[in-house]
Each structure stands twice: as structure tokens, then as C-alpha cells.
Structure 1
Amino acid sequence: MSRTVATSLYDRVAMEAASVVIHRYSTSFGLASRLLDKPVRQHVENIYALVRLADEVVDGVAADADLPEAAIRDRIDALERETCAAMECGYSTNLIVHAFGWTARRVGITDELTTPFFRSMRADLSATKHTPESFDDYVYGSAEVVGLMCLAAFLHDTATSDRAREGLADGARHLGAAFQKINFLRDLAADFGTLGRSYFPGIEVSTFTEAEKERIIADIDDDLRIARASLPGLPASSRRAVALAQGLFEELTDRLRVTPASVLATARVRVPNPVKARIAAGAALGRLPRARVR
């Protein structure tokens, strides 16, 4: 029978390792995680750590170590197998995978979510351009399922009707999709120049236009609108943190909106730390993002 609390030293060290990852890799997500109640926070940190570990395999240190594509593919395949095993038996020799498996077994994350996630990770090893169909599949696997994993943690031990869960799941998927599309847009130059990728179907970075940018922003606005509508239904233990993430994404979207397409094709837009702090303060006080009129 699986333990309900991290009672072993190994469990606790695995959790600590996962917590380090989110705070070292992302100021935004690290900031948002601090607004989660402690039990939920650890679950979300465990999820984020695995996602980041997989991303590093396909985009980071593995390539920096000059591993060929076939060897990197072997590593991501091995990571998926180790993750599945940890979800089944509750143990891994990899501390990050162990922490994720610990969470998955408690909040109900299954391979229904991890399989599309790893499929999207593998796509980054070979896909340089996407069709509308492959783009939707990639966004679902790389971001929407992560939102659903986090939602499983948010709703763990919370009585929620099937109808309410469906609405929250829709919001989680759209918030994940918005985040991914925002990242694609602000990393347009780096993804194309460094990695040779063009995620948005039919978009050529060298000829990126205002009309194309506005079409992408309109799609992101729709995702954010749907996600925002689901915020009040989240448990109090997670609502402020998700409101902060929503607020940060909306702020970044507004900055992308006013940045010329020609600039986005060559530079990265970010939200200054003082602005992040202001948004965080509002979320900490329980203020939800207001509906935006465009």
C-alpha cells in the first residue's frame, strides 16, 4: 500500500530536489507556487520538476554534451520508461522521477497524460515545422496535459461534481495552451535561430507580419478568456496561485501585443520583476484577473 505522506528520508530528499528545480528554473512559476497550500505546492513542484527534466533532455544539457539525436532519443525513451515504472511501483533511483511518481500515485495521474507529454518531447527531436494537426497535438502533449496534471493535484481530496471537473479541466487545458503559445511567440527568434524550429503552422520568422502576430494573439486571448472563467471554481488552496499565473500570462500577452512583429522576430519580450511583484501582490490578496476588453 502506498504511503500517504513522505515519511522516508528518501521521499523527503526527492521532494527537496524537485522543489529546487522550480525555483531555480522559473521565477514566474516559483512565485506562483508559493501561493499554493503546502500539500498542493509539493505536488505541483514534483510535476514541474519532471517536465523540466524532460525538456532539458531534448533541448538542454544533452545537446550541450554533444549527444547525437539517436542518443538523446534513447534518453527520453528511458526517462518515460522510468516514469511509468515509478508511477506503478512508487520508487525510482532518479530523485526527480521518484518525486513525480509519489505525486502521480496519490493524485491519480496516469499514462493517459504522461504518454502524450513524452510524445511531444520526442517531437522536438525531429520536427522543425508543424501542420495545424501536429501543432495541436504538440500543444496538447507539452502543455495542456501539464495543466491537467496540476488540476489533479488541485482537486485531490476535494469533493467536486463531474460537471464542475469538466469545466475546470477545460480551463486548465486552455491556460496550458495559452502559456505554450505565448512562449512560442516570445521565443520566436531563439526557437528559429538556435533550434531551427517554427512552431506556428505557416509562419516564416523571416517574413513575420503584424497580421500574423494579431491572429496568434487573438487565439491566445480566447484561451485566456476561457481559462479565466474557470478560476472561481478552483479550491481556495490553489485559486490564488492560478490567478497569479493567469495574471502573468495576460501581462506578457499585452506586452507582445504592442511589440512590433519585426521586433518579436529578433528579440525576447519579458515581464519586469517589479510588475511581476505587483501582480503577485494582487493575487496574494485574493484578487482575480478582471475580464479584459479588446
Structure 2
Amino acid sequence: MNTIDLFNSTSYLCSKTITVNYSSSFSSAIKLFHPELHAPIHGIYGFVRLADEIVDTFHNYPKAILLAQFKKDTFDAIDQKISLNPILQSFQLTVNQYNIGHELIEAFFDSMHSDLEKKDWTTKEELSRYIYGSAEVVGLMCLQVFCDGNYEQAKMLAPAATSLGAAFQKVNFLRDLADDLKNLERSYFPQIDLHCLSRSEKELIEMDISKDFERAYAGILQLPAKARFGVLVAYKYYFCLFQKIKGITPEQLLSSRVSVPPIKKMLLLLQIKVGNRLGFQ
């Protein structure tokens, strides 16, 4: 007898393919989760990645129309519990299974829409709203999966999850600074002329990111065991990337894209595995 199971599994596979092709680091971290978490986390990433592609790379197409249609299709899929778009099918399955709040998805689309129109963020409040919608809510969606839809547990861990999402996003801002300024003409740090970023301004940004990392770490240690190791690896990877950024000058940051070599990623993974076995991180 034919069932929808094959379509569902194929849809999750499409989201996994997007994850693997677009983010080797994130897809590697997902492998460290309990197997039951793989499909729903791929479902979230595939959805997020498609929206990012609309605003960041579809330059010769009507981005606003595409984003508006994608948003409508997303909520239609969630409400009807079906979509012919495999990425939206896997996302709606995740949203409905783990009771992911629609307000998180709305906030995400608000930030994606900002990327269509805004080139710079002039106040900290404006940037905070953008980071919440573009990164923190993604962490909250994943947290709902990690907690298996347990609202109370997710609520308790939400502050750490938002801090982690903010830290990751701000590190991405610094890592992609040269490309954002040159190709997208975007400036994410209010009241700072990034074209002539000073050492003291760079250090102020880095101090803010350090606080986000600190707030996130305690929450990671309280995550359910099936998710903790994978999130910790992602944390360590981004913290290593952050340390590399801190070690270079503003001029270097404006002329190159910092990355963590594959061998360093492997050493980080080994270090964390050994730490877990010895009872410390």
C-alpha cells in the first residue's frame, strides 16, 4: 500500500542535501546528535537556507515577490500539514511535531525582509530585533526539537539558546565583513564606519560577543543528552573562529574571510570527545 512516508523521508533527505552542500560545519555537528534529531534539524536548516538564498544570492530575480510567496507557502504548508515543496514539507512536519511557535517563524521572515531593504542598522535596538529574527529564533526552533516539544524545559533554556544564536550571528557578521561591505553593501554594527574600523571599535564588538558566549555555555551543559554533544561541538567551533578573528587586525578582517582549517576542526572534536569521557568539557 502506498503511503506518504516515502514522500516525507524524501523531503527530509532534500533538506539534508541542502544542509550538507551549504554548511559542512553545521552538517558535521548534526551527525553528533542522537539519530532521532537528524531529520527535524535538517528540516529547520533547509527552510532557513532557502530564505537566506532568496535575499542573499537571487540577485537577478524579484526577491521581494519570491520571499512573500515563500512565506505564504510556508504557513500554508504548516496549516494544511502538506506541501509539494519537499523543503517546506520537512519543515512543516518538524513545526507540527515539536509545537514550534508561529511567532518564531514570523520573526524570522521579518528579519529576512529587512535584508531586502536595509543596508545598515543605525541603532542597537534595531540590530537586536534583526538578530533575534535571523538567528536567535532559529536556535529556539532547534531547542524545541532538542526538548522534544517540552515547552517548560525549552522556556528555561531559552535565554542560553538566544545568546548562542546571537554569538554565532555576530561572529558571522565579522567573518563575512569584507563580503558584506563589498558585494551586499551591508553594515550590521550601528554607529561604526566599518570601512575604517578601528582596533578599539573591533574590541568593543568582541567584548559584546564574549558575553554572549559566556551566557550560552551554562545552558549548553543543561541540554538533553541527545543534543548536548553536537551543540557543544558547534559552540567550540564558533568560539575557535572567534578567537582567530580576535587575533587579527581590523585591516586583515576587512580584506579576508577567516576560517577554521579542517585539521583544527578534527582536533576540536577529538578534544571534546576526550573531555566528555573524562567528565569535563
**TM-score normalised to structure 2 length:** 0.94
Shift of 1:123: 0.6
The equivalent position to 1:94 in structure 2, one of 78, 81, 85, is 85
What letter is aligned with 1:248?
Y
What letter is aligned with 1:36?
F
Partner Cα separation in structure 2 for residue 85 and residue 232 of structure 1: 37
Indicate the residue corresponding to 1:173 in structure 2.
162
1:52-67 matches, within 5 Å, as: 52-60=49-57, 62-63=58-59, 66-67=60-61
Aligned length: 276
Query: In the alignment, does 2:68 pair up with 1:77?
Result: yes
1:104-115 matches, within 5 Å, as: 104-115=95-106
What letter is aligned with 1:146?
V
* Pair 1:271–1:246, CA change in 2 (3 A): same
Partner Cα separation in structure 2 for residue 212 and residue 167 of structure 1: 34
Partner Cα separation in structure 1 for residue 204 and residue 231 of structure 2: 26
Range with bigger deviation, 135-144 or 202-211: 202-211
Partner SS state of residue 189, structure 1:
helix
Question: Any conservation in 2 of the 1:178–1:224 contact (CA below 8 Å)?
Answer: yes
Question: Any conservation in 2 of the 1:87–1:110 contact (CA below 8 Å)?
Answer: no
Partner Cα separation in structure 2 for residue 42 and residue 15 of structure 1: 6
Partner SS state of residue 82, structure 2:
coil
Range with bigger deviation, 42-51 or 6-15: 6-15
The equivalent position to 1:45 in structure 2, one of 42, 47, 52, is 42
Indicate the residue corresponding to 1:247 in structure 2.
236
Indicate the residue corresponding to 2:189 in structure 1.
200
Partner Cα separation in structure 1 for residue 99 and residue 264 of structure 2: 36
Indicate the residue corresponding to 1:32 in structure 2.
29
Question: Any conservation in 1 of the 2:143–2:154 contact (CA below 8 Å)?
Answer: no
Question: Any conservation in 1 of the 2:120–2:190 contact (CA below 8 Å)?
Answer: yes
**Which ranges in structure 2 are unaligned for 5 or more consecutive residues?**
none
Note the aligned Cα RMSD (angstroms). Answer: 1.7
**Which ranges in structure 1 are unaligned for 5 or more consecutive residues?**
1-5
Query: In the alignment, does 2:8 pair up with 1:17?
Result: no
Indicate the residue corresponding to 1:279 in structure 2.
268
1:185-224 matches, within 5 Å, as: 185-224=174-213
Query: In the alignment, does 2:115 pair up with 1:118?
Result: no
Shift of 1:126: 1.0
Partner Cα separation in structure 2 for residue 90 and residue 284 of structure 1: 39
Question: Any conservation in 2 of the 1:168–1:230 contact (CA below 8 Å)?
Answer: yes
Question: Any conservation in 2 of the 1:36–1:241 contact (CA below 8 Å)?
Answer: yes
Shift of 1:37: 0.8
Question: Any conservation in 1 of the 2:144–2:154 contact (CA below 8 Å)?
Answer: no
Shift of 1:289: 8.2
Shift of 1:213: 0.7
Indicate the residue corresponding to 1:3 in structure 2.
none
**TM-score normalised to structure 1 length:** 0.90
Shift of 1:281: 2.5
- Per-residue CA shift, 1:190-229, capped at 9, x if unaligned? 0000000101111212210111111111111100001101
